[in-house]
Structure 1
């Protein structure tokens, strides 16, 4: 029992006890007075009795307060505690108790009535009435009331008869009945209130249990969530944060009591802190019905250890605060940056890079520089046999070299490559071998350098050596000329000199236009020869260097270079493949250079030759290639879909971490294997079958398959798209597979199908109900029409007879009344006809036909010719042949009503005029009917199209108020629209918009 109903019950029981006790004390005092003379002490006795009753009543109240309410589990039993708790007695017991109490009181009354001179003592019978009502409710209370009324009526004088001979007794007897009824109703109300309170308490207990379970589940999910979460109340306090939050940022619960503790720690930069505060303020002010920030925002958060994390923060508005979720995207963001840098570097690299498959000796991938050097496209070279890159006569050497690479991790060698057009060029190849965990060769990565310019430089060096030899030959020839005949010697010397000059000219031409930086020096480091590229690279312009000392040309040359020159003069070949220089303008430059001695005929060193090549772009390309590869792998690694690439034989060439989780293996263990090496035979057959379908179709093939992840046991439905991969020539070289988890999507589709099926059933039911309702409405309308017109015809007939037969006998008022009756009957008939037309327009079937608008307007004008002539209105039409899609009867009704409306409201104009025209708007035609009548205020624009709405008195402008409503209904049913424009006193313009009929194909 609730607090209120229990208290009411206890208070009422105590009051009943007090009343009955007081009545008993007064009666007992009267009994004592009847026995003895107690005039001096009767009031003292009464006072003691009253004091005793009040004290005992108060004690009774506290005793009842201490009695616990009857529990729901004891509803099947009954005891004294149930009575004290206010529970209803069983029906048979309550009625029996009521009768027993009445009989008991009657026995007591019979025993004591002589003492009170046969007074009725009605107060004695209130005790059984009150107890019966309190313990049994309305029924037992009424039983006790009416039983007490009967007994007291029998007891009153004259006793023994059901008659009351005293008005005072009648009043008390009626008061007994009224009090009994009141107490019975109060008892019933108290029992009903108790039942309601029990039901509410049960509901509250169930709700409390559900809320407790839900809160416990939420707390477990909150604490065990794999993402960082924190709860912020509307006042800025942080009442909760989960374990992931503490592990991610390092701040414990004790350190963060409110946002004031969070801001300076997480956002030490004041400007950035204010920006984040503004964003969070929006989330904290968002109402709970606008629950989720689905997109989230990215912020930089400073952790306790001083590191900075990039997180995406989502917010969920709750009733008492906001739940913030922190998704750490630091590593994925870095991976995206690395992948983007690696990809750009790979694409822009100027050095040739090729990756080949060590198992089938085919090209797996090349960069643009490698492909351009050989006249191919990148896609065109993928899958090309490695042997195609080398001349036929070197195939045996290449096979032997590839066999050697199975044992050695790294090889550098010079050879020739063959371009697509068949031409050859020298290359230097640096090959590294990538191996699987079993140390089997997997791929070969090769950096390929074009040696064409270097070979040309070496040829130039050889030419310089030949030039030196020629000089020595010329010296020997001079000695020989002295020993031989002067004329013969002169002729031979002249011939040799001419040949020498020709040779020197060729050598000089070759050196001048050598594509590399090349310079030849004697032992004094004086220039003997140099190439134009040398002048350009060292910014010497057109300066003549022959005979100048190199150290005079470059006075700032360092001692380290002079030491290298001396080593060359000593006969040593000194070279550097990658040497860094910082130019005067601050640019960083990488050179590959070589200092080589040249020899005289006697074998002594005649000087040195310096060769240098700028490899800055080549090294940048090589680094860019490495960065691009790293970025590409990072990008593939962040994609949640399963991605893999296979060759035509089903061997895995590439996969991402999502596929690793599926098979429970690392990428290194997957690459080089087939489905049969990884999955069971049935699953592998299924995958290879789908691969073949895609290859045969030469187009993407989509299939769905259930997959179970070996890593965590997750099983889901995946939609897989398998796409053939082709090279530049259109030759299929492999297949790309991308699988996406669609488990939740399929569940949503199934739910949507169930909802649609249920909706279709409900629509069918509603359609049937509407059809039945329309049929009933049609019957009702025709019945009403018939029932209304029948008395109208009677009124019209009798009024006509009255006017014809008794018109002369009536005075003017009588004839006026008859005229008003006939006018009202006529208007009522028009109103019924218009209502029937409006009803038929709602129900009638429309035939969408191609109609000539001008023809329909002309027909409407002809039908209203008499009315037009009577009004004297001028009709102006501008309607060329325009065809619309509409219902013929409906459009005719629209034109007639609008024409009638224009004639009616322009009748009082000095020269009535009606203009009918049209305009085209894309696929719609707008018909205009304008008049120069009284017009209307645009405030009432919507009202004029409502049924029974009028803007003018009936006496001024007759009508039923249905015409324009009928026009609007007809136009809307034909898929059009209608509206009006007007200014009071300046006429009105009505517009009807209808679809234009499309020409027949």
Structure 2
């Protein structure tokens, strides 16, 4: 029994030892698997950091090129942001790496990256100082290209190492998983509790791995980077979820393959991709290509596809791993950038303003054609190559360039800086320059940029304006006429010395300060100013208006004024301005002339009356003689009596016409505003019987103006012209007389047209001469003074008279009456 017990005990001990040993082996094997899985996650993270580092380096170069092309400061900001991201990528790699070889590779990459970034920074400095061509030449140096290639190879070497470790660790994990599964089956039959504990531990590790995998997939989604693996031996291809999404395929319905990927390309891209893929498998080049993929739904994406070939121990390719990144937005941005650059270039090249960039020292970096044209150069290239010191070669005053540079350094912007410049031919021109200082992140000035306009013609006009202003000021100060401005309510705003002198003040200042109400202090009758203001408001001006005013010493003088209103943008009167002159002496002379004319009129009336009386007596007695002694007088005697009586009657008519003629030229006659509609009504009434007897049709305009003149004279003018139309009518043709009116700039033009007998062209010059008759008295009675009288009346009213006629077709008389005296249109 004891023996069995011992055997059983031994068996139990052996079983326990086996169990313990198996458990120990399983436990340590499982620990190793978990460690490998953690390392796999770390390797995957390192791969992601390596890819991100590569992309950031590419972004740095892209931003540098963008800044060189457009000078847009936003590219510099992105440039420095990417530099910071590169350092963060390296720091993350150094933190996760354990292998000495990997750390050595990272240190080499760090060193090469710093050199490469330093080269890029130097390229930017050269671009800012010497231009794009110099920067490109610098970056194409062999030593610079060697650094870039070494950095690329080191990054690829590091990435390949990660991928090989990932493959090795994956295979080791799979192997250990198989061993663990066997051990678990054994342990399950021996010690189920241990299996449960192991399963629980394994489950925890698996969850952690799934979480890490989910994080990795999310990182791929955010970066729009899909990953793929190709086992060349088995032909199996696996895609990440993001890879499926990029191609628009469903994992359930689509089996990944090389041909399946190529089917998403155009035939031309398929051919190119196959060629690059074959070269990569043969070791001739890396597999990297930008291509357009056609998704399942027909939409298109631009992607950057790159991969690494995996080799066995015989250097034979056994697989490939790689990524596919969506670069559609980047490509769109590049297209938009190119388009914007073209538009910018077009705007710059076609601008009428000169546009330029220059160094602080005074060397052109860029200039547009207009800049060259303004400065007299045939092209922008000629300008840039010819001018190596802007201040000394272009500025007439070298200090102007220095002064502008100081303003830019202080304020960053200068606008409308007007300076004289020297053209290629030595001609001096004036320009208006606006510029700004472009600074780097440290605040240092990189260069100046700006635009300029040729304002030479404007400067010439300004110079002429200054001369004109000086002349105007001299005229204003020295003219004999008073010049002034006043408010509508009656205060002086401005007055010249003559204005003060006319009103008896020592200076314009004394006049302005002393007169607070022009209407009550200046005008002898304040109503006159109100009347003038009303005319100005209606017509905008008043001309040659004569009125009595008071001087400082209360002396009454006559002035002649010309005033117009000045209005604001809303049409309201801001102020009146005008000129005036002292016409007191002239008014006194006119009064004397008027008195003489009155005496002459009185003399003419008395003379006419005294002449008319004996003529009427002669005519009367001749009539009585013919009536009473007709039977006793023979035919010859009757003929003598008739001729004597006819001569007396004509003498009476001649005296009457001479009297009208003398009155028509009386310029001293009292003038007033005359409504020609009223005058025309008088003419129409006075001729109504004659017009009715002859069947005359008189056509008048719908409205007649109000003019400044003598009513009796204007009545005689219109009466004579209408009477002529009736008198010189055709036989058996009723007269038709039309009066028309045309408003001209400074006068009214009247036409009186009839359908009468007309006047032959050879006789027309005689019509306006005194005592000239074209017909016999028995045909058309008259003295020959009617049209002469009309001419004098028109000329007295500041106008002229003329006629057009064709014999047998009627006559048209034209005459004008000046509007200068304040004429308006009657309502």
TM range (shorter): 0.3 to 0.5
